[in-house]
Amino acid sequence: MSDSEFEREPEVFREMHQAALAALADVQPEPGVAKPDPILTASGIRRSFGGLVAVDVDHLEVQRGTITALIGPNGAGKTTLFNLLTGFDRPSSGKWDFDGRSAKRLRSYQVARAGMVRTFQLTKALTRMTVMDNMLIAASAQLGERMWAGLIPGLWKAQEAANRERAMELLERFKLIDKREDYAGELSGGQRKLLEMARALMLEPKMVMLDEPMAGVNPALKQTLLEHIKGLREDGMTVLFVEHDMDMVHEIADWVAVMAAGQLITEGTPDQISSDPRVIDAYLGAHHDAAAH
Amino acid sequence: MDWHFVFSQALTQAIGPTMLIYAIAAIGLNVQFGYTGLLNFGQAAFAAMGAYGLALAVVAFGLPFGWGILIGFGAAIVMALLLGIPTLRLRADYLAIVTIAAAEIVRRLARATVWSEYTGGSDGMRGFSEPFFELSPYNPDANWSVLFVSMDGGRLIVDLGIVDFQYSSRDLWVMTVGWILVAIFLVVVGLLVHSPWGRVLKGIREDEEAVRSLGKNVFAYKMQALVIGGIIGAAAGFIFALSRANVQPDTFSTDFTFYFYVVLILGGAARLFGPVLGAALFWFLFNLLSLTLNQGIRSDLIPREVLAPTQVGPLVFFLMGLGMVLLLIFRPQGILGNRRELMLDVR
Ligand SMILES: Nc1ncnc2c1ncn2[C@@H]1O[C@H](COP(=O)(O)OP(=O)(O)O)[C@@H](O)[C@H]1O
Ligand SMILES: [Mg+2]
């Protein structure tokens, strides 16, 4: 394991995070506002299903090294936006750059290789494989994954051992080490969420996209997951995650983007967002309007 | 009732040429269905590519036998690509539909009258297997005997007392090559499925979207699995054609594919030795039932009013089907399968 991401000092990243926060401090809380150092820049992203426009985002930037929360009521288009950005779905129009490179034409697996790794709202553990195999399959650039090389164990054993060691470290960190020889299908829902996050880290991503990582998880585990998400930032990754619970968002997000009915309606720091009437409108919708009249 | 005959015959068949056809075709299917989850319902057509590729090359085009083998393998690869390119990006059921249709098209093309001067139409072809049997090291006139093993005019007899095995010298040569192929394919597939490459296949079987999200080119892996399984299916077609010294279009029907599935599920899908064990057991039971019923009728133990000799075939198929249903209820993982794995809550 030669990659720098895991070996750099945490202080370095903490400083980087402080710098990112300082940079965001001057950013106006307006939808589509430009950021000083965006890792992701998306423009004019539109996706419709028949007559329904599920996503229609004019402009969105995600600041490098921060945790950005994507919130919005059910059906707002958050998952669809994730699918588009990660190559799991194709937009009707729009373009976006990831880490300085156009990502529009990339297929889902190429997006992952480029360093943007996602998880799913409905956890996708590989159930009839062991926890360890779930981790190992995620390691990138494995020689043994080429068919011809697979035939010659001598070619890939060393790389496999190194990957296994890294998987052990991650499983230790995510408290799944004792489960490593269990089938992933034997894990609880919360453990599967942990596994999915640990597995994503095997790719050494630059940006992690978490779709409702804390949905359906008990409160104790939620706190653990929260700490892990903070840990990603401390390891220098950028995080974009979908969450409903404003308390959770307050606790870890540096920045919040709000979607409603496919559009990005506002952005800002958690404090700015919780006092923004547009957000309350989006969540309470017509009832709120009716009450106001 | 001659139990010695019944068991000797059934056991002879259980490791004989026909069993090898099932075993090899199912090894290919195991790569596709067992490990990767690809629903290939056209494995019979891959076998037909091998059988007809060889027969056409040798008989219709007068090419050397070795070229026939290469053409057979090549035809299977081309078919895998043709079937895979349009379907493997789509949902799993598309491959199932397309392969089942393709297998039927292949069979109908083979029996079409338009080019029957080359293919022999529904009569099929013969006269391509002599170069193969000329390579045989077994002397068809051999006569010797060592302990319980003897050769009687080229016929091998292994007499174990309670049962005996008997094979003609032609069968022996087919079996020698067939078992060598089984060994080679098991080694290759064994190495592959225990490699990181095989791990990706299993991942695809579990959830291909998840595997995509981890940066793997799922389409390429599925294509490789389809091609490898198809090549092995073509080898089964060679053994099929050579053991009978002919090819006939109607033997490559969808039933044939379903027997491969029965063999695979009986032995245990995604188990390396599942196909071999499944084929041996399937073909043993099939022969045991047929022989027992036939013997029972012949020795008047089963009255002819109850079961006529012509009804034995259908009854055997009925009983095999019933056995399959019971297997799926009581041991869905097959003989070598892992129950724990199968009982997992697949969410
Ligand atoms: N594959 C699809 N086909 C049709 N409509 C879809 C599809 N996926 C999502 N939608 C619709 O798009 C809208 C946005 O959905 P989604 O992105 O899942 O919202 P969120 O994740 O914010 O809850 C919803 O109205 C949903 O019904
Ligand atoms: Mg969603």
Q: Report d(CA B238, CA B128) in Å as an integer.
A: 11
Report if residue A269 sits inside a domain: yes
Q: Domain B3-342 falls in which CATH fold?
A: ABC transporter involved in vitamin B12 uptake, BtuC (1.10.3470)
CATH number of the structural domain spanning residue A23? 3.40.50.300
Q: Report d(CA B119, CA A282) in Å as an integer.
A: 71
| pLDDT computed for residue A293 by the predictor | 44
Report if residue A127 sits inside a domain: no
Percent of the residues in chain B that have a pLDDT greater than 90, as a whole number: 82
For ligand 1, residues with CB inside 6 Å are A 49, 52, 54, 72, 74-80
Q: Is A6 on the interface with B (CB under 8 A)?
A: no
Of the candidates A99, A124, A73, A77, the one whose C-alpha atom is nearest the C-alpha of residue A205 is A99
Percent of the residues in chain A that have a pLDDT greater than 70, as a whole number: 93
Report if residue A278 sits inside a domain: yes
Closest atom of ligand 1 relative to the A77 alpha carbon? 17
B198, B35 contact by CB (below 8 A): yes
Report if residue A257 sits inside a domain: yes
Q: Report d(CA A174, CA A202) in Å as an integer.
A: 12
Q: Report d(CA A213, CA A248) in Å as an integer.
A: 11
CA-atom Rg of chain A in angstroms: 20
| pLDDT computed for residue B251 by the predictor | 95
Ligand 2 centre to CA of A291 (Å) is 28
Ligand 1 centre to CA of A87 (Å) is 16
Instruction: Report CA-CA distances (Å) from A225 to A219, A231, B176.
Output: 10, 10, 59
Domain range for residue A27?
3-116+238-292
Ligand 2 centre to CA of A72 (Å) is 9
Total domains in chain A come to 1
Size of interface A-B (CB pairs under 8 A): 123
Q: Is A224 on the interface with B (CB under 8 A)?
A: no
- The complex's ipTM? 0.90
Collect all residues of chain A within an 8 Å Cβ-Cβ radius of residue B333.
Answer: none
Report if residue A47 sits inside a domain: yes
State CA B281 to chain mean position distance.
13
Residue-by-residue DSSP string for B248-317: -GGGGSHHHHHHHHHHHHHH-TT-TTHHHHHHHHHHHHHHHHHHHHHHHHHTTSS-TTT--GGGHHHHHH
* Beta bridge pairs of residue A45: A57
Contact A153 B341 (CB under 8 A): no
A168, A131 contact by CB (below 8 A): no
pLDDT digit string, tens, across residues B30-65: 999 999 999 999 999 999 999 999 999 999 999 999
Q: How confident is the model at residue A245 (pLDDT cuts 50, 70, 90)?
A: confident
- The SS3 of residue A165 is helix
Report if residue A158 sits inside a domain: no
pTM: 0.93
| pLDDT computed for residue A259 by the predictor | 94
Q: How confident is the model at residue A7 (pLDDT cuts 50, 70, 90)?
A: low
Report if residue A222 sits inside a domain: no
Q: How confident is the model at residue A290 (pLDDT cuts 50, 70, 90)?
A: very low
Considering only the beta carbons, identify the residue of B205, B213, B216 that sits closest to A117: B213
Report if residue A136 sits inside a domain: no
Phi, psi of A160 (to 5 degrees): -60, -40
Contact A117 B191 (CB under 8 A): no
B203, A128 contact by CB (below 8 A): no
| pLDDT computed for residue A282 by the predictor | 78
CB count within 10 Å of CB B139 equals: 12
